[in-house]
């Protein structure tokens, strides 16, 4: 999985899976653009870890729900690191709200970030890839999108549209040498608020997973790196489920 001479952009890379992916791509030789909506300190820490591998890093903050911010972010990182060969769309917005309480503005925001933001970030970098004879896009989706979870009809519903982008863009951009794939992590051991509901879900996932444990961020990062590299040169239009075999889990609806 050699990415020497490549430039990668990882959205939502100030912590957790995004940070691990940025560092893994750097370990494979890529220079990495690090971005998040507002976590400047987290992005700078990720950039520090990237530079420790010997690769270059640049930070640009942007709300990917804002089309102008997306364009400015990509232009800044391109100016500092060069044309972008690899895009990992990791940034996401997952608010929880009962279906009947979701307002138009709630729906607009999740669509702006989770669907339009991914779409327009990809639009902004694909010309570089075409000019350079090819590239790779990796979109993060998530197991709960497929399993269903109470209170997330709008946020997880919007993320399922990312799989549609994977399949459609793989077909449209394939002739230009651009591969588009998805990674759908299962329940991963990351920093999160430890609510009673999450404790219950975590127990049920572990009990229902053939591998009998949560995943690590590094395991997701490895999958992203594989799909970004020439090791996956004949892989496009696919979603790789990094979930320990957790399907299906019919009991994740919280007690009511």
156 is catalytic: yes
Q: Where are the alpha helices (DSSP H) in the chain?
A: 16-27, 40-52, 67-81, 104-110, 118-131, 143-147, 155-173, 196-208, 217-228
Q: Which of 79, 30, 39, 88 is nearest to 61 (CA)?
A: 39
Q: Count of CB atoms within 10 A of residue 108's CB?
A: 13
Q: Is there a contact between 19 and 49 (Cβ–Cβ < 8 Å)?
A: yes
Three-class secondary structure of residue 240 per DSSP: strand
What single DSSP character describes residue 33?
E
Residues annotated as catalytic (active site), given as ranges: 156
């Amino acid at each position: 999985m050699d990415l020497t001479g490549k430039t990668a952009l990882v959205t939502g890379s100030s912590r957790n899976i995004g940070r691990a992916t940025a560092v893994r791509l750097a370990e494979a030789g890529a220079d990495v653009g690090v971005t998040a909506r507002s976590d400047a300190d987290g992005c700078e820490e990720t950039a520090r870890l990237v530079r420790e591998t010997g690769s270059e890093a640049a930070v640009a903050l942007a709300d990917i729900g804002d089309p102008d911010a997306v364009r400015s972010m990509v232009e800044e990182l391109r100016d500092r690191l060069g044309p972008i060969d690899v895009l990992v769309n990791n940034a996401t917005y997952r608010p929880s709200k009962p279906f009947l309480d979701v307002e138009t503005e709630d729906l607009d925001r999740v669509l702006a970030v989770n669907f339009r933001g991914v779409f327009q970030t990809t639009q902004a970098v694909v010309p570089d890839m075409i000019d350079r004879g090819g590239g790779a896009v990796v979109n993060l989706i998530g197991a709960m999108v497929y399993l269903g979870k109470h209170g997330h009809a709008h946020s997880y519903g919007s993320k399922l549209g990312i799989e549609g982008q994977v399949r459609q863009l793989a077909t449209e951009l394939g002739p230009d040498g651009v591969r588009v794939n998805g990674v759908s992590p299962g329940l991963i051991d990351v920093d999160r608020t430890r609510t009673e509901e999450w404790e219950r879900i975590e127990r049920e996932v572990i009990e229902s997973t053939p591998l009998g444990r949560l995943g690590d961020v590094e395991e997701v990062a490895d999958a992203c790196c594989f799909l970004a590299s020439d090791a996956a040169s004949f892989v496009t239009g696919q979603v790789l489920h990094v979930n320990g075999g957790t399907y299906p889990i019919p009991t994740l609806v919280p007690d009511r």
